[in-house]
Amino acid sequence: MKDASLLSSALSENAGTILEKRYLKRDDNGKVIETPEDMFRRVARNIATADSYYGKNGDEVAKTEEEFFEMMRNLEFLPNSPTLMNAGRELQQLSACFVLSIDDSMESIFETIKDTALIHKSGGGTGFSFSRLRPKNSPVRSTGGISSGPVSFMKVFNAATQAVKQGGTRRGANMGILRVNHPDILEFITCKESNREITNFNISVAVTEDFIKKAIKNEEYDLVDPHMKKTVQRLNAKDVLDLIIKMAWKNGEPGIIFIDRINRDNPTPEIGEIESTNPCGEQPLLPYESCNLGSINLAKMVHDGEIEWECLSQAVERAVHFLDNVIDMNSYPLKRIEQMTKANRKIGLGVMGFADMLVMLGINYDSEEAIRLAERAMKFILETSQAASEKLARERGAFPNFDKSVFSKAGSGRRRNATLTTIAPTGTLSIIANCSSGIEPIFAISYVRNILDNTKLIEVHPYFKEVAEDKGFYSNELMSLIAQKGNIRGFNEIPQDIQRLFVTAHDITPIWHIKMQAAFQKYTNNAVSKTVNLPFDATVEDVHKIYVLAYEGDCKGVTIYRDNSREEQVLSKTPAQETERASPPTKIIPRPRPNVTTGTTTKIATGCGSLYVTINEDEKGSPFEAFMSMGKAGGCAMSQLEAIGRLVSLALRSGIDTHSIIEQLRGIRCPSPSWEKGGRIFSCSDAIARVIERRIQDAKTRPSQTSLARPLSAEASFKSNSSKTGDIVGVCPDCGGALWHVEGCMVCNSCGYSKCG
């Protein structure tokens, strides 16, 4: 076993930053008091303790601890984030996500909201089906009123999620699902047409086999009132599917899940029907089940150009053991969740680093050889997981509901876990492990990292750098150009076979995204989290083809994201026969904020106290954003300053003439004017205008910078990261970096923030 002290030096800079910010233990003063090695040791010791519940002695438990520690320390396997964060600490909440039920009563709805708040407080995400709720405008006999419908209650859940804080580690996220035969399905499909609505939810339509078949035949289908249990309307299935596709084309919402396929693979149908998934859609669960996930780093399973299957087998067996122990060591937010989880003992073992594995083997991502390897690797993982689960069942007993499961009915061997495999998003985990995310293409070939004092560092994918140096075409100048372009296509210095090998999301046609998802789904018990990336000029018909491919490929769901679609204006509803290709957006779009900006802070006296105004600049030395704070002031004054700062920053980043901004702020008067260096300051707004004006004057007298010395603009900085698997969809609320749409979620690759928790 390697010296654990070597771990910190092996971690990337990003990994160290994320671990320090989100995972490592702190004292009461907020000071980090553990190293990454300490964290892995804490987790390994805590999870290994479960062995003692099954008759293992101290030496045997210590041996398990070392095995768990070694595979995490070597970055061969990592559990989901809550386990890394909380195992061995007071919270001890180890599950990433949960599914709750919502019945058609006010008591059930608000009881579920309360349960949701408790789960979000503990750091978990939640999935719901709103399909049991009666439709909008239905009579409510107990009150004599009418129902407001599922979408209105989704907004209540959304507001509750917004109100719950999680201490800066993980934020609440939700999945909202409605069956396609619910009478309110059209309202649901369009409920997120505005990017400002229901922001704490991902939404998916649960489509049935019957619906798909009728859509293909252009036939009508029934909408059924879940309360009255009767048909209340009929719709053309093709028109509804077209609307789903059009909304997904606009901004990626809703996704779809093939609910009949999900229940076809439900291991315990006698216990209940699966209605919903977790927030990213890869983990279908019964009501009150939790998901316990982890991922094997496939890049660590390749040595000297060959897959070490024995090494992979050992990693899988240990990972299944680890995840089964998590179920026993978990502190569940609700007793009912603990009971259901322990009754079925579902785990979800997945992978990350698949694209890296392909590169190390010299296999192009978008090739039939890659598809065959995906199937072979996942089949191996599933079969090895089954053997490991059967071994645990012999030692510890099968999961309690085994006799009510499909395995018992089929006469299969007894197993410890009702499900074993899931391909989950690994956004943050893959940054820690310094590997490609999940089964997505490579995260980045080369990109620019801005650090303090305007220093720019060119980060290069380690395998690409190795190949480039070996082939003799590596240079800092070339890496800089690649970082600005976003991929390596079209560089004459780079051999064509290398350009084909190192592909990114937008280099790959949608059919290969779906083929890869289907290949992994073939040997995955649960579902596969993957995003099909599309260029901005993709048409509605392109999305339709993807949905057909997903259906034909026996996928359990599909999520698409069209580049920049979340930043365009909301399009008016048009009939299906109207034009399917929209013009590029005409509204002003603010430049995203880069990870690092520089500027100065000016202290200026106002009638309310000393005001501190920070003005950061773009690459031309022009004001780019503004922040304000005022001594010990709080409450209303501070909130107004924050609002002014946000609006000023928005205007600056949108290219609004700076003098126009100054003109709007100057001269606004408040009851308490002041004097600053012989001049009258009428209000805080007036003070801000003067600081901005002063900064413009300073910039005019500053010597110009050369193009090599100045930092990238926000736009160029983000373009330099465009080789990442995903698309920029916003600004990270934690660090101000780019939010990317990847694996069905919005994630920040700079600090590890995830909208999906």
Q: How many helices (H) and strands (E) does the chain have?
A: 26, 29
Q: Tell me whether the omega of the peptide bond preceding residue 254 falls within 30 degrees of 0, making it cis.
A: yes
What DSSP designation does 162 have? H
Whether residue 247 has pLDDT greater than 90: yes
Write the single-letter amino acid at 543: V
CA dihedral 392, 394, 396, 401 (to 10 degrees): 90
- DSSP assignment letter at 49: G
Predicted pLDDT of residue 580:
38
- pLDDT of res. 709: 30
How many angstroms separate the CA atoms of 558 and 565, rounded? 17
C-alpha 403/C-alpha 151 separation (Å) is 39
Lowest mean pLDDT among 11-25, 268-282, 563-577: 563-577
Q: Among 274-288, 462-476, 702-716, 718-732, whose mean pLDDT is lowest? A: 702-716
Please state, in angstroms and rounded to a whole number, the distance separating the CA atoms of residues 10 and 581.
48
Among residues 508, 531, 509, 520, which one has the least CA distance to residue 555? 520
Residue 646 has a pLDDT of 85
Q: Which pair of tokens denotes residue 167?
A: 């201490």
Query: What integer best gives the mean pLDDT of the chain?
Result: 86
pLDDT score recorded for residue 39: 98
3-state secondary structure of 562: strand
Backbone angles phi, psi at 674, to 5 degrees: -145, 180
pLDDT in tens, 406-428: 999 999 889 999 999 999 989 88
- Known catalytic membership, residue 676: no
Give 57's DSSP letter. Answer: -
The identity of residue 413, as a single letter, is G
Catalytic-residue membership of 191:
no
Is it the case that residue 94 has pLDDT exceeding 60?
A: yes
Alpha helices (runs of H) in 362-405, residue ranges in sequence order = 368-396
Alpha carbon distance 709, 645 (integer Å): 29
- CA 124/CA 118 separation, integer angstroms: 9
How would residue 622 be classed by pLDDT, with cut points 50, 70 and 90?
confident
Long-range contacts of 398-403 (CB under 8 A, 24+ apart): 399/343, 399/344, 399/345, 400/342, 400/343, 400/344, 400/345, 401/268, 401/271, 401/343, 401/344
Question: How far is Cα 319 from Cα 314, in angstroms, rounded to an integer?
Answer: 8
By DSSP bridging, strand 557-562 and strand 531-534 are parallel
Catalytic residue among 67, 282, 317, 619: 282
Low-confidence winner among 365-374, 550-559, 583-592 (lowest mean pLDDT): 583-592
CA distance 92 to 80: 13
Contacts of 425 (CB under 8 A, 6+ apart): 280, 282, 437, 438, 529, 742, 743, 744, 745, 747, 754, 756
Predicted confidence band at 67 (pLDDT cuts at 50, 70, 90)? Answer: very high
- pLDDT higher than 70, residue 693: yes
pLDDT of 390: 98
Instruction: Output the 3-class SS for 480-546.
Output: HHHHHHCCCCCCCCCCHHHHHHCCCHHHCCHHHHHHHHHHHHCCCCCCECCEEEECCCCCHHHHHHH
Q: Which helix (H) or strand (E) holds 232?
A: strand 230-236
Number of CB atoms found within 10 A of residue 369's CB? 13
CA distances for 395 relative to 78, 583, 584, 683, angstroms:
24, 63, 61, 74
Tell me: pLDDT of 192 over 50: yes
User: What does the alpha-carbon distance between residue 296 and residue 302 come to, in Å, rounded to a whole number?
Assistant: 12
Structure tokens that stand for 3 in this block: 């010296």
Q: Is 50 exceeded by the pLDDT of residue 666?
A: yes
pLDDT at 630: 80
Active-site entry in 278, 297, 325, 749: 278
Q: Is the whole-model pTM more than 0.85?
A: no
3-state secondary structure 286-323: CCCCEECEEEEEHHHHEECCEECHHHHHHHHHHHHHHH
| Alpha-carbon span 429 to 437, nearest angstrom | 8
β-pair partners for 236: 220
Name the H helices within 411-495.
Answer: 427-433, 462-471, 476-485
Q: b/e for 652-680, b at 16 or more Cβ within 10 A? A: bbeeeebeebbeebbeeeeeeebeeeeee
Q: Which of 12, 5, 117 is nearest to 449 (CA)?
A: 12
Give the pLDDT of residue 721. 38
Length of the chain: 757
Percent of the chain with pLDDT over 70: 84
H or E element at residue 741: strand 738-742
Tokens 């509804």 — which residue? Answer: 240
pLDDT in tens, 298-356: 999 999 999 999 999 999 999 999 999 999 999 999 999 999 999 999 999 999 999 99
Please report how the helices 462-471 and 354-361 are oriented relative to each other, as an axis angle in degrees rounded to 10: 20
The pair of three-digit structure tokens given for residue 697, joined into one six-digit string = 């004057």
How would you class 100 by CB atoms within 10 Å of its CB: exposed for 0-12, middle for 13-18, buried for 19 or more? buried
b/e sequence 532-568, b meaning 16+ C-beta within 10 Å? bbbeeebebebbbebbebbbebebbbbbbbbbbbbbb
pLDDT at 716 over 80: no
Which secondary structure element, helix H or strand E, spans residue 694, and what is its range? helix 684-701
Calpha distance 542→191 (Å, rounded): 23
User: Per the residue annotation, which of 76, 97, 266, 280 is the catalytic one?
Assistant: 280
Structure tokens at 446: 């080369």
- The DSSP call for residue 737 is -
260-270 per-position pLDDT tens digit: 999 999 999 99
- The question of whether 636 is a catalytic residue gets the answer no
Q: Is the pLDDT of residue 170 over 90?
A: no
pLDDT at 541 over 60: yes
- On the question of pLDDT at 723 being above 50, the answer is no
Q: 501: pLDDT confidence band, cut at 50, 70 and 90?
A: very high
To which residue do tokens 């993980």 refer?
A: 170
Residue (of 427, 276, 436, 278) closest to 741 by Cα position? 427
Q: Do 741 and 531 touch, CB atoms closer than 8 A?
A: yes
Distance in angstroms (rounded) separating the CA atoms of residues 525 and 348: 8
**Top-confidence residue, 327 or 169:** 327
